[in-house]
Chains A and B, each alone.
Chain A
């Protein structure tokens, strides 16, 4: 499953989403809980704005000096006996990883949650190479068992499914015979996956923050699966998007504290695991072999552009959790494994406008995302910037819109044109008006009046009334 999910056109995906009341109920209640969790966690700190400023400072400095910190990281990983592969493309990353697995004669690969491995479609590459790949994050596992249903949220991938659906998936695919109680479902997963962990020879993880100063990768989880994946298999392969890095432990600490609060309202998740190289001499558990794969896959094109700050993202999903558009259309509507505001900004940058030019318009620019983002990424401004690029650089806007915008600038930049235009409005629209309102409007108004009334323009504009009033008062 690469970044792109599904082939339907945008409008159809949106209609499917809106028509899916199961999903919408699940998303809406999840959003409610996550929102209050995040707000409470922020309030408890008392000075969340200070934290956000610090988060922004750290991210901006790190990305601005990304080449330096990645070099330092790789030096420190190798000092501890780990190997580092820099992959410019998804193909390069997959090839390196499958070669490592082949060399180890690996048969069973267990994975902890990682968006970047979804993005590069690692699972398929490994399966082609003859491996069995098992996702161990509960949400990811549910999706995998359900014939690779795509994720709809970057933190809670199976958010679009309710417990009854999950029970049915387990029953149909794995012979599960208990109820839809979340505890029973989770216990079932624990038992099934425990066996897999104990037999696996390769562990694949993502990376929340790599720490340059010591060659460490840190993983933020609640379930304990990432610990399993890095404790039992003999070989560990960690795949990271190239921007997931901080200078030192001190910045890791700050960003982890912000990530867990922003994502789920927790002070810390149950497990923060910081791994430095393979196990040391004399240690019993942990990998004998450690590989770090650093992936570009289109990210470097964003560097040095006005969109650079989207690389500051720490993947907390706070923007997704407050987005009203996401709430109504669901994650799959975005056609990308990165949904919501962050996805609407990032996906067109990684995947191009050809496939994703609607995404920047799927927003009212209400800025709820910008307000929620822990590292202060101006998400709604990036959406606006996309629109600008689509219009001005790519020339991809519809002709009709182009013409009406031309008329707009003529009409608003010149008072006389505005005067004529606004004066004509009542005449032009008068034919459609009844009782001071328009219920079935022409042209672009049609979409408006499909669902709501539109006011009829007044015979006298405010400026006309003002003039009259002034005259009356004058005498």
Chain B
């Protein structure tokens, strides 16, 4: 069989801050037999501007990204939130005769990492090994807007040595919300504290997530509070051997 051709969209947070997550994603996909490329002209999905109401400005980066991934078969991203943003593009360009169809093409071939592995590759056990007790944060955009609920759990349940603990009140937002985290810091603090409390109550010593924004938020708070909880992106967990 011809190997699946996948274009990696790493997101700006991973490009600049969490490079190891990018590497893990790359290796994971390659190990699963995909031919992975990284279109170097990629920047950001536009979400920071879009969610702050700067739609016109966001559209500029959206158009750029549509161009960048024009020739890809599949676009895979280790971020539920940025994946959701790509899927939203047709909505943003609604009524635009040129850009709406192009946006639709990008949306149709974009997948969040775990969604791609389970739904497209049809793999539920990636052969990962990791010892520990872990809990999983269901990020809001990935769960509610992208509708990816089962895939991460299927994959995590098959990681050898990993004991998954339910996260109490997992449906609650962690309080990140992009600009919200710095605009409404006081409220954000209450929300992230509630989330950290939930993680502690779960009895896990590893917190896993599929969105770097949420993980930077929860992880940053865990770190500040000096809690003995390790924070890992799901790509890194699935790439553990």
Contact = CB atoms under 8 A, between A and B. Distances in A.
- A and B held together in a complex: yes
A458 B16 contact: yes
B38 A14 contact: no
A322 B172 CA distance: 9
A340 B51 CA distance: 19
A452 B19 contact: no
Contacts of B41: 415
A384 B60 CA distance: 18
A364 B10 contact: no
B22 A462 contact: yes
B55 A388 contact: yes
Contacts of A368: 140, 144, 171-173
Contact of B56 (A325, A362, A371, A392): A392
Contact of A455 (B18, B49, B63, B185): B18
Contacts of A413: 43, 60-61, 63-64
A160 to B, nearest CB: 16
A365 interface: yes
A268 to B, nearest CB: 27
Interface stretch (B98-106, B129-137, B176-184): B176-184
B190 A422 contact: no
B181 A448 contact: yes
Contacts of B192: 451-452
B188 interface: yes
A472 to B, nearest CB: 13
For A322, A365, A412, A444, the residue with the greatest tally of chain B CB atoms inside 10 Å of its CB is A412
Contacts, number: 194
A15 B54 CA distance: 28
B229 interface: no
B80 interface: no
Interface in B13-70: 14-19, 22-23, 26, 38, 40-44, 46, 48-58, 60-61, 63-64, 68
Contacts of A388: 53-55
A221 interface: no
B84 to A, nearest CB: 10
Interface residues of A: mostly helix, strand, loop or mixed? helix
A324 B175 contact: yes
Interface residues of B, number: 67
A454 B61 CA distance: 25
A67 interface: no
A415 B53 contact: no
Contacts of A467: 40
B221 interface: yes
Contacts of B58: 409
Interface in A329-374: 329, 361-368, 370-371
A437 B53 contact: no
A461 interface: yes
B11 to A, nearest CB: 9
A405 interface: yes
A66 interface: no
A451 B192 CA distance: 10
Contact of B217 (A439, A452, A461): A452
Given A453-B220, A458-B17, A367 B51 contact: no
A448 B173 contact: no
B151 interface: no
Contacts of B15: 422, 461-463
Interface string A293-328: 000000000000000000000000000001011001
B144 A370 contact: yes
B176 to A, nearest CB: 6
A328 B197 CA distance: 15
A387 B57 CA distance: 13
Given A368-B144, A415-B43, A453-B220, A397 B175 contact: no
Contacts of A198: none
Contact of A412 (B44, B140, B175): B44
B223 interface: yes
Given A364-B176, A409-B58, A447-B185, A462 B23 contact: yes
B49 A415 contact: no
Nearest to A418: B43
Nearest to A441: B182
A21 B141 CA distance: 30
Contacts of B162: none
B205 interface: no
B140 A364 contact: yes
Contacts of A462: 10, 14-16, 19, 22-23, 38
B188 A451 contact: yes
A254 interface: no
B224 interface: yes
B148 interface: no
A445 B185 CA distance: 11
Given A412-B61, A414-B64, A448-B181, A453 B224 contact: yes
Nearest to B212: A455
B9 to A, nearest CB: 11
Interface string A433-475: 0000101000011011011111111101111011100000000
A363 B180 contact: yes
B187 A461 contact: no
Contact of B53 (A387, A450, A453): A387
15 contacts: A328-B194, A365-B141, A367-B145, A368-B144, A387-B52, A412-B12, A415-B42, A422-B12, A447-B185, A452-B217, A453-B223, A453-B224, A458-B19, A461-B19, A463-B38
Given A364-B175, A405-B54, 10 more contacts: A14-B184, A364-B140, A365-B140, A370-B144, A386-B53, A392-B56, A409-B49, A409-B58, A448-B182, A455-B220
Interface of B: 10, 12, 14-19, 22-23, 26, 38, 40-44, 46, 48-58, 60-61, 63-64, 68, 140-141, 144-145, 171-173, 175-192, 194, 216-217, 219-221, 223-224
The 7 closest A-B CB pairs, nearest first, are: A364-B177, A387-B53, A452-B220, A366-B173, A412-B61, A409-B57, A413-B60
